[in-house]
Structure 1
Amino acid sequence: MRDLSDFGLADWLRLSPCHDALKQWRNDVWQSMYLAKRAAGQERFVEDLRDPAANLGLVVAFEQPWALNWQLERARVNIPDTRMAVFDNSRRPEMRRQIEQVCRENQVPYLALPANPTRHVNRSHGFAMSWIYRNVVLPAAPRSFAFIDHDMIPVASSRLLVDLDDQPVYGLPNHGEWGWHLWAGYCAFLFDHVRRRRLNFLYDFSNGLDTGGRNWRSLYRELDSDRLRMAKHRMREIIDPVSRHPFTIQVIDDCWYHIGSISYNNGFESQFELCQHLAAALAEGLPWAELCPPEA
């Protein structure tokens, strides 16, 4: 929540600080109840991941097995130093079955998260991330861990999420008026730096911060974002290798293609065919730099 000194007179007249405090308290109580839930096979899953030298890639899957399959296929090629693990936050049993099958075929650990009690997009994602951190990351105690959205495709080789020897975090920064945090879809943390902090991956609506923004107080406020290496994203023009139609896509660090808008609406439909054509071209060995030439 925002510092009380950051609320103006108009905010106080509207009782905004009281409203924000009550809403944050409600979310924290709701999340604490969710964190106490257990997942089937949880203990064995954690034991399989326990490795002090591991760099974990944690994927919150939701309803889209085709995107996850593409991500895991490219991860095996382009980010081999990251051990991927999938946590299923899907609502529909059939989607959970298909996502589990995708993980089995790609030989990636799969865990079905407890049923999420909220339909609010950011709250659901924050609950899932906090549950994963509390119930899997802390007991597994890896070298590092990164949260990666299921529609983030590693289209070229990269070690940026594991090269944390000189700084404790890495990712794509989101700046608000009263703080900053790393975007929940692409953020990495050195475990030893955060293990004793009370991380909370909910959004901080009072500070104008998205999912993961509640870590502003416990983590980010002591870090100078201007002195850290940070991810960069660009909107790039790309030509479909089959249809030859032009598209504008988001590329992060020149090696991740962010499909975007595939979980909670149908905004991705215009790019679905493009994704299929790009996946086929990459599988045949065509370099990403030829499909999406770097900017001069």
Structure 2
Amino acid sequence: MSLFRNLQYYRFLFEKSTDLIYFPIKNNHILLLTVAYNNVEFVELQINLLRKYFKEDFIHCVVDNSTSLSVRNELKEICKSNWVLYYGVPKTPFSDHKSHGAAMHWAFVNVVRKIKPPIFGYLDHDIFPFKSFEISGKLFQGVYGRVVNSYIKGGGYMEERTKDVPYWSIWAGYCFFDFSLFKGLFPWHFNFLSKHFQKKYYLDTGGGLWDSVYSKTKYPGILATYRKLKIDELEGQGDQNGNFEIFDESLIHFVSLSNWRAISDIEKKKEILLATIHRLTELNSN
């Protein structure tokens, strides 16, 4: 980034929340931060499913990166009625997908650093548990989530790391950290944006932790399990349309609920998601 953009970005990081709902809390919990963006439809569902299936004490916080004021107002009311922390993210310097990483970074500076939880993690607003799960016993050298290698500019993915291309990160939509990893790190020493390397390789959102966290951590191999779940009714309509994602055989990810990658029939996919969650929760209750 240019000097001007850097100054603009750091000013953003230390701006106060545009609006917040805060309840008295204890510090001996896991902090879960849902990064919300322009959708209220499923936030309450996520809140309720987390309370049902996450088997550890936790604090839940919605970090609202929405650009719509009406959406923000609705999300704030949902959080208030459900006793969930709510922080409105100030306008970021980015209008594209980078705003998600910027919101994560802002949340670290303004929420995580103040609460100082032993463990904290980020969830996308379209990922929902359907089976009991826990996190704290799964951290490997202070990190947990779906491990991803570097992408190749222009298209492609490094299925295997090499000596020349050793880069990896944790997918930003389901990632967890021991707070002690960030001890002594100032906010300008890292970020949650993408990370671009020389030649043609890059890490997606969250890869900005490479220099300060991931490069100093032994490569963990597979941590959270991951698979695609095909949607038969939408088969043949492309990867974004025709799949959900399953993590740890316990959570389902809608994929692009905010429609940042256009879905041809998003209402149909939402309908199928609710039916799928109902089926999976019923299956795991027997």
Task: Give the TM-score category using the shorter length.
Answer: 0.7 to 0.9
Aligned residues of 1:152 and 1:256 also touching (Cα < 8 A): yes
* Alignment check: 8 A CA contact 2:146 2:222 kept: no
Aligned to 2:11: 33
Following the alignment from structure 2 to structure 1, what is the Cα–Cα distance between the partners of residues 50 and 138? 19
Q: Are positions 1:231 and 2:205 aligned together?
A: no
Mapping for residues 36-75 of structure 1, pairs under 5 Å? 36-40=14-18, 45=22, 48-49=24-25, 51=27, 53-75=28-50
Aligned to 1:261, what secondary structure does the other structure show? coil
- Aligned partners of 2:215 and 2:86: how far apart in 1? 34
Q: 1:268-293: per-residue Cα shift (whole Å, max 9, x none)? A: 434111123235556xx613488xxx
Partner of 1:256: 251
Tell me by how many angstroms 1:239 deviates: 7.0
- RMSD (Å) for aligned C-alpha atoms: 2.6
Residue number in structure 2 paired with 1:19: none
Taking the aligned partners of 2:175 and 2:226, their CA distance within structure 1 comes to 13
1:93 offset after TM fit, Å? 0.8
SS in 1 for 2:191: coil
Specify the code of the residue in structure 1 equivalent to 2:169: H
Max Rg structure: 1
Distance 1:189 1:59, change over 3 A: same
Give the distance between the partners of 1:92 and 1:156, measured in 2 at CA.
Answer: 32
Equivalent position of 1:272 in the other structure: 270
Kept after mapping to 1: 8 A contact 2:62/2:86: yes
User: Could you tell me which amino acid in structure 1 is paired with residue 283 of structure 2?
Assistant: P
Cα pair 1:203 1:213 within 8 Å, conserved: yes
SS in 2 for 1:257: strand
Q: TM-score, normalised by structure 2?
A: 0.79
Q: Does 1:190 align with 2:170?
A: no
Q: d(CA) in 1 for partners of 2:276 and 2:78?
A: 19
Moved over 4 A (4+): 24-27, 237-240, 279-282
**What displacement does 1:24 show?**
6.7
2:51 aligned partner = 76
Residue 218 of structure 1 is matched in structure 2 by 212
SS at match of 2:41: helix
251-260 or 191-200, which deviates more: 191-200
Name the residue aligned to 1:5: none
* CA displacement at 1:133 relative to structure 2: 0.5
2:149 to 167, 175, 179: 175
Identity percentage of aligned residues: 26
Any idea what SS the aligned residue of 2:84 has?
coil
Query: Are the structure 2 counterparts of residues 270 and 80 from structure 1 closer, same or farther at C-alpha, using a change threshold of 3 Å?
Result: same
Which protein is richer in helix relative to its size? 1
1:200 aligns with 2:191: yes
Structure 2, unpaired ranges of 5+: 151-164, 234-241
Contact 1:70–1:279 under 8 Å retained in 2: no
User: CA 1:252–1:144 in structure 2 vs 1: closer, same or farther (change >3 Å)?
Assistant: same
- Select which of 158, 164, 168 maps to 2:133: 158
Amino acid across the alignment from 2:179: F
SS of equivalent to 1:115: coil
Determine which of 103, 109, 124 is the counterpart of 2:79. 103
CA contact (8 A) 1:164 1:190 kept: no
Distance 1:154 1:215, change over 3 A: same
Structure 1 segments unaligned to the other structure (5+ residues): 1-22, 241-246, 291-296
In the alignment, the residues of structure 1 paired with residue 177 and residue 46 of structure 2 have an alpha-carbon distance, to the nearest angstrom, of 21
Q: CA deviation at 1:107?
A: 2.2
Contact 1:151 1:258 in 2 (8 A): yes
Q: Secondary structure at the match of 1:66?
A: coil
Q: Which residue of 1 aligns with 2:159?
A: none
1:174 touches 1:183 (CA, 8 Å); kept in 2?
A: yes
> Measured at CA, do residues 90 and 166 of structure 1 come closer, stay the same or move farther in structure 2, by a change above 3 Å?
closer
How many residues were matched structurally? 254
